[in-house]
Amino acid sequence: MSINAYRFFSNNCREAMTRYQEIFGGELNVMGFGDMPPGEEVPEGVDTNLVMHAALTFPDGDLLLASDDPSGTGGSVTGVSISYNAATVDDCKRIFTALSDGGDVGMPLESTFWSPLFGMCTDRFGTPWMVSVNQPPES
């Protein structure tokens, strides 16, 4: 069994997912509404440049999935954050800095009782993130 986050964007999915690939690495596959196979019709009123489905696949098999919200009512994300657990303190700092660039920091990176570094931010695409180091803090 696996559980993967699926994020809906308001007309900037391609830009966001490309940025996430720059930050995290992995393989990005994007299918726009205009890329639908022959015989399939784009829903009426939907811009063919919008992303129907995007998948960022990480080397360990984890996925970050997304699409544009064709209704255009995307709005802000509430009640959820995407959590990233870095292998090292340096990786945690790099990822947090990249995600928070152009966004808002809700909690700067700091040591906690469960991790040497933990922080929360909302990136410039409106995605809330929690970033930490996947190891216990030193006693």
Give bridge partners of residue 57 from the DSSP assignment: 27, 63
Helix (H, G, I), strand (E, B) or coil at 17: helix
Alpha-carbon gap, residue 55 to 66, rounded angstroms = 7
- Domain ranges across the chain: 5-68, 82-133
Question: What CATH architecture applies to the domain 5-68?
Answer: Roll (3.10)
Q: What does the pLDDT read at residue 32?
A: 93
pTM summary value: 0.90
CATH no. of 82-133: 3.30.720.110
Per-residue pLDDT of the chain (139 residues; tens, 9 = 90+): 788 899 999 899 999 999 999 999 999 999 999 898 888 888 888 888 999 999 999 988 999 999 998 776 666 778 899 999 999 999 999 999 999 999 999 999 999 999 999 999 999 999 999 999 988 666 5
